Amino acid sequence: MSSDDPTLDPTATPDAAPDLTSARIAASMTEVVGDSDVIVCCGSGGVGKTTTAAVIAMEAARVGRRVVVVTIDPARRLADALGLETGLSSAPQRIALDGTGGSAEDPSGGEMWAMMLDTAATFDGLVRAYADDGEQVERILSNGFYRNMAGAMSGTQEYMAAETLHALHQDDRFDLVVVDTPPSRNALDFLDAPGVLSRFLDHRIFKLAMLPTRGGLKVLGVAAQPMFKAIGKVVGSDVLADSLAFFQAFSGMETGFRERADEVVALLRAERTSFVVVASPRRDTITEAVWFAQQLAEQDVGVAAAIINRVQPGFGDGEAPAEESTDAVLAALWSNLAELRELRSAELDALAPLVELTEPAPVGLVPLLDGDVHDLVTLDRIARYLFPDPA
């Protein structure tokens, strides 16, 4: 019996379990899609977060939304889930909803696009946006300190992800942005990054670094000062010269960066920005999901929905005949069924803390399927559980 057999009820639960009926999930998840401008999917690694983001985006397009799904995770999981052999680029790419490579438009008028974050390219775009002229752009983009910072500095990827979200939200082509984030604790970095940047620009260390630019001093002259000379002995004179040259070139741009960071913070906490927590029915991933939901609550951000992937399906409520069976095969099948039911019961017990914490948000259960997700057809199999027909 296939675990995704439509005759099975993957949301069937014991009487004591929370109400997770198909009708409730369908109505609630449809509301999340319809009432959001931004949907952020968060969770541990390997729980199906990318797949969930793709399914939500596909369903949004089917109900008439113009949606773009963007992955912050540098792995190819989103491209693989969409069946794109050539991968994704840093520019939004239109996805054919019929899965045939034909028209990307759904009969409802919806559209689906997908892209992958390019940290360096996004940072370069911000520099071009806030620089006074082409000369300032060239001085920054060619600076060694900037090149290292744009590609490897801690927090840069998370801030550029938030910046990409902001840019897509402002793009008239889209009315919904779905974000596939890195694993949970990195996802918090994604939420914190805009505020961190604002605080850094206001920090005395940054202002100290900018003093030479405001005093009109040249890099060579600054590097000769006792304080900077001491720093140069620690980090290296070339690194010091590059960093001071960067701050000289950056002069005057901090206001634009600060204002944009404040806009991103406001967007992440906006009423129409929804957070969907994704987990699997293992205690460790549920613990991580609970921790993340608590962190969101501390930041006054609620959970719009929780999705639990790879849950043991429910196989009806029939019982073995009271009389002893002489058929060994049949007896073994009933024994196997009892073990599967016990496994499902244990999984439901494990996810109870997350259900309780996120109540009254919907909790969608996606059963363990018999194959990988690798195209729109297999994504649609999952969509039947997250967006089932209430009828």
pLDDT in the model for residue 224 = 43
pLDDT in the model for residue 10 = 39
Please list the rounded mean pLDDT of every run of 10 residues in the chain (391 residues): 38 41 64 94 88 95 94 80 87 79 59 90 85 86 76 66 88 95 69 66 59 47 45 46 65 72 86 93 91 87 91 81 70 88 90 88 88 86 84 56
B/e letters for 300-323, b = 16+ CB within 10 Å, e = fewer, are ebebbbbbbbbbbbbbeeeeeeee
Residue 213 token pair: 């630019």
Q: Are 177 and 168 in contact (CB under 8 A)?
A: yes
Name the residue with tokens 């690694």: 45
Residue 208, CA distances (Å) to 200, 205, 223 in order: 12, 5, 14
pLDDT in the model for residue 143 = 80
pLDDT in the model for residue 327 = 77
Strands 176-183 and 273-279: unpaired
| Burial class for 295, CB neighbours closer than 10 Å (0-12, 13-18, 19+) | middle
Residue 342 token pair: 């016990």
pLDDT in the model for residue 237 = 45
| Burial class for 102, CB neighbours closer than 10 Å (0-12, 13-18, 19+) | exposed
pLDDT in the model for residue 144 = 77
pLDDT in the model for residue 189 = 72
pLDDT in the model for residue 154 = 53
Domains (range + CATH), the chain = 22-126+156-190+264-316+354-386 (3.40.50.300)
pLDDT in the model for residue 2 = 37
Q: How many CB atoms lie within 10 A of CB 239?
A: 15
